[in-house]
Structure 1
Amino acid sequence: MAGPTTAERGERQQESSGPPPVRRWRPRALRLRTIIILAVVLVLLGAGSVWLLYGSQWLRVERVSVSGTRVLTRDQVLEAADVPVGSPLISVDTDAIEARLRRKLPRIDVVDVVRSWPHGIGLKVTERTPVLLVQKGRNFVEVDDEGVRFATVSKAPKGVPALQLTLSQPGSRAASLRRFGEDRLVREAVRVAGDIPAAVARVTRSVKVRSYDDISLELSDGRTVEWGSSEKGATKARTLTALMKAAPDARHFDVGVPTAPASSGS
């Protein structure tokens, strides 16, 4: 029996191999084109954003607001802040402004510099509050609740007691000064001033420091309080309040040892 002819073998090979493959180049080309378009769009958006923030006239500093001041004036704060009006808002160095304000105006305790889009800078100021006064010639140095001497004023603020450091005497008082230093003793006086009961604080004329553990109060009506050291301040405050109620006519109170308070005079 004769085998298949050459033509028949060619037909079988063509049937077994199937149709020629189709090249799928169109979807790949479309994806590449989409990627290129998106990249161009992103570049344009980025360039536009940079121009809007830094190059345009729309987002620049036009006004500066000040809030929270009590003693300082708005002009004082603005001058010390030196905000670059007219500059791009995004480029304003808020940390540098905060540093300038604290350096030039020690009365400022905390300051927050915020951008107020699209054209503003806000300066939110918290001033230090004096708890004691140190007389210096005819002026008064204000001391805050951290012992920081932050301002010198010509007129004593109302309701702030004077700090009297009587540390020049020989003996234990001089030794206390050498051991602790004046700054430490001032901080101890500040701690005492912060612990005085509110009703007593309102009539406290001065806080006297003779040594670390010899601090006393002089009230505006002439009464005195021996406080001792700044330790156990809250307990001493409660004891003093109870002692003054129990002996309203007394002129001298001693809470240096709060477990054994005493009062005297009438």
Structure 2
Amino acid sequence: MADRRAERSAMRRHRTWRTVLVGVLVLALAGGVGWAVGWSDLLALDAREVSVTGEGTTVDVERVRDVALAPAGTPLVRVDTAGMREEILGLRGVKDVDVVRSWPHGLDVRLTARVPVAAVPDEDGFVLLDDEAVRVGRTAEAPARLPVIAVPLDDASSGALTSALAVVAALPPGLAKRVDEVSARTRDDVETVLRDGVSVRWGGREELDLKVEVVRTLREVADDAVVIDVSSPHMPVTR
């Protein structure tokens, strides 16, 4: 009996030491992995593996790359992608951005660029605006492919400019390229003049999808109309 008890006690001690040894090895392995991932150069950001896509024509790509390359050499897990995103969003022409780690050494910066939809005249030429009235550029001459909005840039209180931009942004490409000029005295009084001289009175920015369809239909069935009024799209008027 004494021999059996001694044998069982020895087995328990053996299991205990084995458990302790396994625990120590696991902790050492976890510590090594943590150091390799978070502090060594093993998984560091490599400048050659940083990609920037979706820049469009309004984004200064070099400035974006400068921000993305700033943490080069830092372990990828410690790169502050949220802070980088906020910094890039502050750059001209950037509407949205996703910053994604590309293991083991890369970073993917996926931009959504702001797209100019209209030009607004000012004392130095023309300011290019996107559909949210954000300034994305400037030209000395009226751009050939963008409509000109005859609304002051500082006329924010009336909402006329934002309504005019909303109408322009809602136009399908085939109709948008025919717009020559846009005007609005108030947010509910947007009017476009097409290159063939037809005037389209849109009213406000409500039900724009329906208004666009009504205009397209009336352009086909009333091709001699010089004025198309869809301010009330359920009761349009032509003359």
TM-score greater than 0.5 by the shorter chain: yes
Deviations 1:240-265 (A, max 9, x none): 1222112223322222233333333x
Q: How far, CA to CA, are the matches of 1:120 and 1:39 in structure 2? A: 34
Report the counterpart of residue 226 of structure 2 in structure 1.
Answer: 251
1:181 pairs, out of 141, 157, 177, with 157
Q: Are the structure 2 counterparts of residues 28 and 217 from structure 1 closer, same or farther at C-alpha, using a change threshold of 3 Å?
A: same
Q: Are the structure 2 counterparts of residues 167 and 45 from structure 1 closer, same or farther at C-alpha, using a change threshold of 3 Å?
A: closer
Q: How far, CA to CA, are the matches of 1:196 and 1:34 in structure 2? A: 74
2:135 pairs, out of 150, 160, 171, with 150
Contact kept, 8 Å, 1:67 with 1:125, in 2: the verdict is: yes
2:22 pairs, out of 29, 38, 47, with 38
* 1:59 positional shift: 1.5
Q: How far, CA to CA, are the matches of 2:153 and 2:85 in structure 1? A: 38
Q: Secondary structure at the match of 1:190?
A: helix
Q: How far, CA to CA, are the matches of 2:125 and 2:13 in structure 1? A: 83
Report the counterpart of residue 240 of structure 1 in structure 2.
Answer: 215
Q: Are the structure 2 counterparts of residues 109 and 93 from structure 1 closer, same or farther at C-alpha, using a change threshold of 3 Å?
A: same
Q: Are the structure 2 counterparts of residues 253 and 80 from structure 1 closer, same or farther at C-alpha, using a change threshold of 3 Å?
A: same
Contact kept, 8 Å, 2:160 with 2:185, in 1: the verdict is: no
Q: Are the structure 2 counterparts of residues 100 and 139 from structure 1 closer, same or farther at C-alpha, using a change threshold of 3 Å?
A: farther
* 1:73 positional shift: 4.7
Q: Are the structure 2 counterparts of residues 263 and 46 from structure 1 closer, same or farther at C-alpha, using a change threshold of 3 Å?
A: same
Q: Give the alignment's TM-score, normalised by structure 1.
A: 0.77
Report the counterpart of residue 66 of structure 2 in structure 1.
Answer: 79
Q: Give the alignment's TM-score, normalised by structure 2.
A: 0.85
Deviations 1:154-200 (A, max 9, x none): 265553322222799xxxxxxxx7xx814x33322232223335432
* 1:134 positional shift: 2.0
* 1:219 positional shift: 1.2
Mark the runs of 5 or more structure 1 residues left unpaired by the alignment.
1-18, 169-176
Contact kept, 8 Å, 1:132 with 1:162, in 2: the verdict is: yes
- For 2:168, the aligned partner's letter is A
Q: Are the structure 2 counterparts of residues 157 and 88 from structure 1 closer, same or farther at C-alpha, using a change threshold of 3 Å?
A: farther
1:198-209 → structure 2 map (5 Å cutoff): 198-209=173-184
Correspondence 1:222 to 2:207: no
Report the counterpart of residue 104 of structure 2 in structure 1.
Answer: 118
* 1:65 positional shift: 1.6
Q: Secondary structure at the match of 2:120?
A: strand
Greater relative contact order (Cα 8 A, min sep 6): structure 1 or 2? 2
Q: Secondary structure at the match of 1:97?
A: helix
Aligned residues: 233
Contact kept, 8 Å, 1:132 with 1:144, in 2: the verdict is: yes
1:90 pairs, out of 62, 66, 77, with 77
Report the counterpart of residue 187 of structure 2 in structure 1.
Answer: 212
* 1:58 positional shift: 2.0
Q: How far, CA to CA, are the matches of 2:183 and 2:61 in structure 1? A: 36
Q: How far, CA to CA, are the matches of 1:122 and 1:259 in structure 2? A: 47
Q: What RMSD, in angstroms, separates the aligned Cα atoms of the two structures?
A: 2.6
Q: How far, CA to CA, are the matches of 1:43 and 1:22 in structure 2? A: 35
Mark the runs of 5 or more structure 2 residues left unpaired by the alignment.
none
Deviates more, 1:244-253 or 1:24-33: 244-253
Report the counterpart of residue 9 of structure 1 in structure 2.
Answer: none
| Runs of 4+ that moved beyond 6 A | none
Q: Are the structure 2 counterparts of residues 75 and 20 from structure 1 closer, same or farther at C-alpha, using a change threshold of 3 Å?
A: closer
Report the counterpart of residue 6 of structure 1 in structure 2.
Answer: none
Q: How far, CA to CA, are the matches of 2:63 and 2:195 in structure 1? A: 35
Q: How far, CA to CA, are the matches of 1:87 and 1:114 in structure 2? A: 15
1:163 pairs, out of 149, 159, 163, with 149
